[in-house]
Structure 1
């Protein structure tokens, strides 16, 4: 039983898998397109988005870390028809994370429960150039901008994410769990990455 002071093994496994997905997903090669798009998006207006209580989101059948589906479902199933699914970029340190929220009667809300403690509000950049199309394999939808399939994020310091991924892989290859490898990366590279605004 978890009394709030310890983390169960199942929870460590879940958080480790989440860390691994995030680290791998953020370590794609840098490109001129990414740098140019980052600069373009940073010039767009920002809004403040509020996160409703996690329990309320879970009770409404919102799935953790499935923001695009959650917001599409909220818009499609809103009996009042006032919910609008908006895709854009969550401002996270020096990165912009591809994210979806809803706008309801002028209020900006994040419909996606998080597994770790997060701020109740965050800055978000709605991006009117993002469009959803059927994915190349036909299994769902993908976000495009200017005809390009969007990555999970736009990064100011891509090389830092690649370094984190490489160190994380080394630690896991040495026998550490994903949970413990993430902790070691934060402890050993944390101060340096904080200075660059990455974490």
Structure 2
């Protein structure tokens, strides 16, 4: 039993390490004037408070971690009363806004996406009616656009900080430690510094 628990813990660390590396890479793109202007536009929009149901309930309902757009689309398609509305916008997370989907049901805003790490049960969200979804050339993949520009996964207040975090993470991994342990080191220093800066 103890061996199984140890193996499960190792697999979870491996999964979390993979997620941390992927997120660090996704947030480490070059800053642009377009990003700064778009962030200013988004922050001028009204905000709503979204509630996260317990993770075990979301998983039991078949919701998939890290797949918010599909989860919300599935909820709308399977709602027999047709009360669910899929809303695209931006999840406010410290000094970034993350492209995200939620549902609105009779004035209640819900996030249907299980998270791999503990997060508050409520958060601020900015609905954005300017987001549109277009199919890629393969006719299968779909991407978010705003004003004709393909959207990144997030808009950042301090883009240079995310580039430093990515570079430090890569350097630690190059020294031979796991992605999980590398992220623990980077998050304890640079991640903590980022969260102390002025939030959105």
Three-state SS of the structure 1 residue aligned to 2:129 is coil
Deviations 1:115-159 (A, max 9, x none): 111100000000010011112332221111111111000000000
Report what 2:165 is aligned to.
Answer: 164
**CA spacing shift, 1:74–1:121, aligned 2, 3 Å:** same
- Name the residue aligned to 2:99: 98
- What residue number does 2:84 align with? 83
Q: In the alignment, which residue of structure 2 is the partner of 1:53?
A: 54
Evaluate the alpha carbon distance shift between residue 121 and residue 3 of structure 1 in structure 2; reply closer, same or farther with a 3 A threshold.
farther
SS in structure 2 at match of 1:30 = coil
Measure the CA separation in 2 of the matches of 1:33 and 1:137: 27
Using structure 1 for the length normalisation, give the TM-score: 0.94
1:165 Cα deviation (Å)?
0.2
Partner of 1:26: 27
Unaligned 5+ segments in structure 1 are none
Displacement after TM superposition at 1:77 (Å): 1.2
Does structure 1 residue 179 correspond to structure 2 residue 174?
Answer: no
The 4+ residue runs of structure 1 with deviation greater than 3 A are 1-7
Provide the C-alpha distance between the structure 2 equivalents of 1:98 and 1:41, rounded to a whole number of angstroms. Answer: 11
Report how many residues are paired: 198
Residues 127 and 185 of structure 1, relative CA distance in 2, 3 Å threshold: same
* Alpha-carbon contact 1:95-1:155 (below 8 Å) kept: yes
Judged with a 3 Å threshold, the aligned counterparts in structure 2 of structure 1 residues 197 and 10 are, in CA distance, closer, same or farther, namely: farther
The alignment's C-alpha RMSD in Å is 2.0
Do the aligned partners of residues 11 and 134 (structure 1) sit closer, same or farther apart at CA in structure 2, a change above 3 Å counting?
same
- Say which is worse superposed, 182-191 or 150-159, in terms of deviation: 182-191
Q: Once the 2 structures are TM-superposed, how far is the Cα of residue 5 of structure 1 from its aligned partner?
A: 11
